[in-house]
Amino acid sequence: MSLTIEQVAQLRAAMDAYNFPATYYDFAQQTECVVPGMQQVERYIHRLLTSDVVQDVENGLANIVFWGNANAGYQMHRVMKFKNGVTPLQVQAFQALVRQSPVPSLQAIKKLGMPQFSGISFISKITAFLNPAHCGVLDLLIARMRREGGPKALNTLRFHSAISPTTLNCAAYDGWCAECSSISQHYFDGARRAVDVERGFFYLIQNGQLEAARAIYEAA
């Protein structure tokens, strides 16, 4: 199977329309920064996550909690639970992971035991910010595209209320990222990153077009 011209146009339009809040938190100034687009958020958080300074990395991880909960009323409550619960040793261990590999495995990040990063929904936000070219997010909204059976990566997911980073689900995540990259290569000449393709699907599902998203995903 392959996508129709109309489906390619629909996914392109969804990627362009993606409008999750482009926001981050400046802990030095203690203020929220709303910026024109996600690339500014990405650059800011990526710089913090890959810093040699422990406090920067902690603030980068806290910003993932902040951004990921941008539409939730408990946003800062979750951020402060992370800030108050994480230890310097955990942050240093995360730094070591990033030095060893530009994109640590989901299970390696999970083993650090950092608060707010127990499931794939938020752990995959870390990998997506570290390497948006090849990694997207896998959360409960994206997981709504799965169907029982079939060769697609999301169809192999097994979860209830949260997507735990089991061996099976981590393999599904890796497959999902590869599928997003493949869609870019086949239909957008590689001009879109894996995270952009994921966000296109996210936008469709968020805006009541789950069946259209699923049809595109299954045919791509």
Q: ∠ CA 195-197-198 to the nearest 5 degrees?
A: 60
Q: Where are the domains of the chain?
A: 5-219
Cα 116 to Cα 60, 100, 109: the distances in Å are: 13, 23, 12
| Tens-binned pLDDT, residue by residue, of the chain (220 aa) | 799 999 999 999 999 999 999 999 999 999 999 999 999 999 999 999 999 999 999 999 999 999 999 999 899 999 999 999 999 999 999 999 999 998 999 999 999 999 999 999 999 999 999 999 999 999 999 999 999 888 999 999 999 999 999 999 999 999 999 999 999 999 999 999 999 999 999 999 999 999 999 999 999 9
Any idea which residue has 């059976």 for tokens?
Answer: 149
**DSSP structure string for 65-78:** HHHHTTTSTTHHHH
Indicate the pTM of the whole model: 0.97
Looking at residue 177, its amino acid is: C
Intra-chain end-to-end CA distance of the chain, in Å: 7
The whole-angstrom separation of Cα 183 and Cα 188 is 7
